[in-house]
Amino acid sequence: MSSPIRVIIADDHRMFADGLLSIFHEDDDIQIIDVASDGNAVLEKLAKASCDVVLMDLSMPGMNGEEASRIILKNFPETRIIVLTMHHTVDIILPLVDLGVHGFMLKNSGRNELKKGLQEVMEGRKYYSQDIRKVLERKEEPGNQMRFTSREKEILILIYEGLSTAEMAEKLFLSPYTVETHRRNLLSKTETKNATQLINKAIEQGWIQVRPRL
C-alpha cells in the first residue's frame, strides 16, 4: 500500500479548512497534517515538517498565497502547490501559472475532483479544473492581457472601494509604505497618472467587476 499524500491547508477561513479536514478524515489516500492561516505560518510549518502538497488560498492576511508560493517553489522544490480560490479572472490565474504552481482549482470543486488534482500533481502533472482551463483558453482576448499580482489585484479593488492608504494597510496587515509601493506599481503598469484614471481604465478593460451601489 502506498503512503498517503501529506497535505497542508493554507487558508485563513477556518470553516473552509475544517470542511476539508472533515471530507478527508477517513480517506486513506490523503492525510491533512496541518492548517496554516497565512503565508508566514505555512512557511514555518514546512520548515519543521515536509509535506507533499500545499492547498493554497490566495487572499490571506500578511503574506498572501502568491508570495508564499513564490518562496515555497524556491526553497521547498519537492512540495507541490495547488491554488484553491474563488477568484478566477485571467489576471489572477496567469501570474500563478507563470510562477509555476502545480494546480489551480476553485473552492467549489467537489471532493472527488480535489482528490484527483492531488493525485495528478503527485504524479508530476499539472492540474487545472475545468473553469480554470476555460480562462486559460481565453487569455488572449482583448482586455485580458494585463497581468496583476494577487496583491495588486487586492489593492486595485480597495482603491475602487475608496479606501485610503492607511485603511488599506490596516485591512491587509501591511505597512503604508508597502501599500504606496503597490499603488505606484499599478499606475506604472497601467500607464495611468492617478487613482481616477486607474479605476476608469480598470472598469473599461474589465479588470475589476463593478458592483451596483445600494
Domain endpoint, select from 137, 168, 197: 137
Place of cell 522544490: 77
Overall number of domains in the chain: 2
- 107 vs 214: CA distance, rounded Å: 28
At CA 128, angle to CA 126 and CA 130, rounded to 5? 150
The chain-wide mean pLDDT, for the chain, equals 88
Residue 145 has pLDDT above 80, yes or no: no
Same domain, 188 and 116: no
The pLDDT of residue 214 is: 40
Arithmetic mean of pLDDT, 91-102: 86
Arithmetic mean of pLDDT, 96-113: 91
Same domain, 91 and 24: yes
Amino acid (one-letter) located at 104? F
Domain endpoint, select from 112, 137, 162: 137
Same domain, 33 and 129: yes
Same domain, 116 and 171: no
Percent of the chain with pLDDT over 70: 93
Residue 162 has pLDDT above 80, yes or no: yes
The gap between the terminal CA atoms of the chain, to the nearest Å, is 57
Same domain, 55 and 130: yes
Same domain, 124 and 44: yes
Q: pLDDT for 191-201, tens place per residue?
A: 899 999 999 88
Contact 54, 7 (CB under 8 A): yes
Same domain, 94 and 156: no
Q: What's the domain range around 183? A: 150-205
In a domain, 42, yes or no: yes
Domain endpoint, select from 111, 137, 163: 137
Question: Read out DSSP for 118-177?
Answer: HHHHHTT--EE-HHHHHHHHTTTSTT------HHHHHHHHHHHTT--HHHHHHHHT--HH
Q: pLDDT for 115-141, tens place per residue?
A: 999 999 999 999 999 888 877 776 555
The pTM assigned to this predicted structure is 0.68
Same domain, 97 and 172: no
In a domain, 143, yes or no: no
